[in-house]
Structure 1
C-alpha cells in the first residue's frame, strides 16, 4: 500500500493538501483512504471510513473515544490490584482526554489501516493528515521510542520467571505482577511494530505543505534535518497559496515577488531529489469539493520517491581498517550535533531532534574514533576493537 504522510508549518494548509492529494489519487483510479484528526472541508467523516467520492473514503481520528476505551480496558485488566488498593472505579462519562492521547490515537488509527479491520477494505493508497511539523516528527518517532521503552522496562527474557509468581505472591501475601502485564506489553509492541513498519516502508513518503515566505522557509530548514535523522523520505514540497505573477498592482506584485524568491530558493535547496509543486491561491479558503478538485491537479502522489525501504544510511571503508557510518543530515550545523555511544546504541542529537539508534552487528565490535560533518553528511568513524574481532593468523 502506498502511504503519503502530509505535514507542514501550522496554518500552511496541510489538511487541504492532504485532501487534494487523496482526491487526486482516487481520480487516478486507486482506492484511497484519507485519515485526519481535523475536519476536512467538503468531506463528511466519522470514526469509521465514510465514502466521500468515487474510490475515496475519509475517516477522522477520535482521540477522546480512543482514550476512554484504552483506560477502561486497562482498568478492567488491573481490577485485582485496584480492588486490593481500594480504588474507586472510573466511569467512561467522567474521563477527560489527557495531553498526549491524540498522538496515541493517530498511531492506533494507522495500525487499523495497516493490519486491522480497515486493511480488509483493500485500499491502494493511504493519505494521512498529520499535525504541524514539529509535532508530526515527534509522532513519527514515537513507535520506535515506545518499543525501546517496553523492551527496557519489561524485557521478554524476564517472562520466564512468571511460573514463580503464584508462589511468591502466596509467601508475601501480595499479588505479584500478573501475566496480563506482559501480554499487554506484547500486544502494544506488536501494534507499534506494525506502525513502525508502515513508517519505514519503502512505499511511504512525507509530503510537506508550506506557504512560500520567511516563516515557511525557516520551519522547513529546521525540519529537513529532523526528517533525515529519522530516515523519512520526502516525495514533494507543495507550495500553498501561490499568488499570480506579473500583477500591475504594486502591493500585490511585491507579495508575489517575495513568494517567487522563496520558491526559487526551494527549487535550489530541495530539487531534484524532491519535487517542488505549486497550488494557486483561490482567493478564498477551500471549502467545497470543486475547490479541492482545482488543487488536486497539483497534488497527485509521486511514486518516484518511494521504493527505498529502511534508513538511507550506509557504511564505507575509510582506510586503515576504519569503518565510516554515513548519515545524510542536510541543513545540520556542526555546533548543534552531539553523539554519545552507550553500549550497543548511538545517541544522536541534531539541534532539537534526537534519536537513539541500535548499531549494526559489525559496528558493535568497534569503538567510535571520531566524526565529521561534510557537505551535509555526518560520517562517524568506527575502529575495530581488537578484543572483539577474531584474529586472522
Structure 2
C-alpha cells in the first residue's frame, strides 16, 4: 500500500494537488482514499460534492473522507478527558469552560492520523493520499509520536508506579482525585497507536511531497520543512511548484510575473536538487471536480507515475566503515554551526535550530562509543561509532557540539 502526504504553506494549493494526484491514481484502477488531517477541511470544495465523516465515493475507485474529529476524540480521549474534568470540577470551574480546556490543542489533526492508521490496517486501499495541515502544524504533528515516546519510556512508568502506590495519600493531600488505571491505559493506548502511525509514515511505502508556489517567502518555508522532515526521518520524494504563470501569450503585467517566478524556480531546482520537481501552470479556471482535478494531475506529472517513489532514499543510512560503523543523516540546507549532538545512554540527541530529535540507537550501536561527528558541506551529519573495547581513550566525549 502506498501512502502519500502533501504539505506546504497555507494557500499554495496543496489540497488541489493532493486531490488531483488521488484522482489520477484512481483513474488507473487503484483503490484510492483521500484523507484530510487539516482542521479546516477543503476536500469537499475541491471535489465539488458533499463529503461525510466516512469514506465517500466520488468516482470509480476514488473515495474522500473528512474525519469526524469529535467522534474519534470521544473514542480515543474520553477516559483522559473524564479525569481532567473531575480535577477541574474540584476547583469549581464552570462545566462548559472545563470541557473546552480539556481538549488538547491540535487534537483534530492527531485523531485524523489515528484514522489513517485504521485505514492502513484495513487493507481496503492501494493508495492513501493525505491532505495535511499547513507546514508548521504538520511538522509539530509528525514530531509528536517520538516526543510522546520519550515521555512514555522515561517518565510515565515512574509516574504510574508513584500514583498507584500513593493515590490515597496524594488525593487527601492535594484535594483532587488521582488518575486511575483506566487513565494510564488510555494514555498507553494513545501512545501505541501514534507509534504505529509513525512507523507507517517513516516506512518505505510512505513519503511526503512539498507543495509550493514560486515565491521567495514560500520557498524559504519549504526549505525549512525539508530539513525538519528529514531530521524526523520522513522521506521527501518530490516537490510540486503550483500556480506557475505560462510564458506564452503573456501581456506586460504577466510577463513581469513570469520573470519573477523563473528566478524563484531556478532557486527551487537548486535547493531541491536530486528530487523530482513537478510544475503546474495556472489554468483558465479553478480546477473543481474529479474531471478537472484529473486533468490538472495529468499535466502536472506529464506521463510519470503519480504515486511512484521516484527512487529517492530515506534520510537515514548505517554504513560499515574501516573503523566501525557510521550513522548518516541527511539534513538539507544545514551547516555545522546549526547542529548540536549529544549522547545520552542509548540515545543520540540531535538539535537543529529549534527542533530536537531523540534517536534511539539500535542495539548494535548502543554498545559502541561515539568516536567522531561532523556535518559535511552537502548537509549530511556523519556520526562514527566504534566498539568500546577498541575505541581510543582520546575519543570525543559522549556529549559534544558538532562543528
Normalised by the size of structure 2, how large is the TM-score?
0.81
User: How far off its partner does 1:51 sit?
Assistant: 0.8
User: How far off its partner does 1:12 sit?
Assistant: 0.7
Tell me what 1:281 maps to: 282
Contiguous gaps of at least 5 residues in structure 2: 393-403
User: How far off its partner does 1:386 sit?
Assistant: 3.1
How far apart are the structure 2 equivalents of 1:218 and 1:75? Answer: 39
2:53·2:68 contact (CA, 8 Å) conserved in 1? Answer: yes
User: How far off its partner does 1:29 sit?
Assistant: 0.6
Tell me what 2:34 maps to: 34
How far apart are the structure 1 equivalents of 2:365 and 2:295? Answer: 51
After the TM superposition, list the runs of 4 or more consecutive aligned residues in structure 1 that deviate by more than 4 angstroms: 68-71, 75-79, 81-98, 156-159, 168-177
Tell me what 2:217 maps to: 215
Please say which of residues 329-338 and 377-386 is displaced more in the overlay: 377-386
How far apart are the structure 2 equivalents of 1:4 and 1:104? Answer: 17
How far apart are the structure 2 equivalents of 1:301 and 1:71? Answer: 36
Alignment partner of 1:55 is 2:58: no
**1:226 counterpart SS class:** helix
User: How far off its partner does 1:31 sit?
Assistant: 0.7
**1:386 aligned to 389, 393, 396, which one?**
389
1:8·1:210 contact (CA, 8 Å) conserved in 2? Answer: yes
How far apart are the structure 2 equivalents of 1:84 and 1:264? Answer: 59
**1:302 aligned to 290, 307, 311, which one?**
307
Tell me what 1:313 maps to: 317
RMSD (Å) for aligned C-alpha atoms: 3.4
User: How far off its partner does 1:215 sit?
Assistant: 1.8
Q: C-alpha offsets along residues 146-189 of structure 1, whole Å, 9 cap, x if unaligned?
A: 12212223239977x99x85xx7689997875432442233223
Within 5 A, what are the aligned runs for 1:348-363?
348-363=350-365
Alignment partner of 1:99 is 2:102: no
Tell me what 1:7 maps to: 7
**Residues 43 and 368 of structure 1: is their aligned pair in 2 closer, same or farther, counting only changes over 3 Å?**
farther
1:236·1:302 contact (CA, 8 Å) conserved in 2? Answer: no
Alignment partner of 1:126 is 2:132: no
How far apart are the structure 1 equivalents of 2:169 and 2:336? Answer: 58
**Residues 154 and 169 of structure 1: is their aligned pair in 2 closer, same or farther, counting only changes over 3 Å?**
closer
User: How far off its partner does 1:14 sit?
Assistant: 0.6
Tell me what 1:189 maps to: 191
**Residues 93 and 280 of structure 1: is their aligned pair in 2 closer, same or farther, counting only changes over 3 Å?**
farther
**1:59 counterpart SS class:** strand
Tell me what 2:204 maps to: 202
User: How far off its partner does 1:235 sit?
Assistant: 2.1
1:68·1:92 contact (CA, 8 Å) conserved in 2? Answer: no
Alignment partner of 1:343 is 2:349: no
Q: C-alpha offsets along residues 346-373 of structure 1, whole Å, 9 cap, x if unaligned?
A: 1111223321101222332333333211
Q: How many residues align?
A: 376
User: How far off its partner does 1:292 sit?
Assistant: 1.4
**2:247 counterpart SS class:** coil
Tell me what 1:376 maps to: 379
Please say which of residues 20-29 and 336-345 is displaced more in the overlay: 336-345
**Residues 43 and 346 of structure 1: is their aligned pair in 2 closer, same or farther, counting only changes over 3 Å?**
farther
User: How far off its partner does 1:78 sit?
Assistant: 8.1
User: How far off its partner does 1:71 sit?
Assistant: 4.7
**Residues 70 and 248 of structure 1: is their aligned pair in 2 closer, same or farther, counting only changes over 3 Å?**
closer
How far apart are the structure 1 equivalents of 2:222 and 2:167? Answer: 55
How far apart are the structure 2 equivalents of 1:101 and 1:342? Answer: 31
**Residues 178 and 283 of structure 1: is their aligned pair in 2 closer, same or farther, counting only changes over 3 Å?**
same
**1:57 counterpart SS class:** strand
**1:303 counterpart SS class:** coil
Please say which of residues 145-154 and 51-60 is displaced more in the overlay: 145-154
**Residues 239 and 176 of structure 1: is their aligned pair in 2 closer, same or farther, counting only changes over 3 Å?**
closer
Tell me what 1:326 maps to: 328
User: How far off its partner does 1:77 sit?
Assistant: 6.9
Contiguous gaps of at least 5 residues in structure 1: none
How far apart are the structure 2 equivalents of 1:255 and 1:217? Answer: 16
**Residues 207 and 341 of structure 1: is their aligned pair in 2 closer, same or farther, counting only changes over 3 Å?**
same
How far apart are the structure 1 equivalents of 2:168 and 2:111? Answer: 39
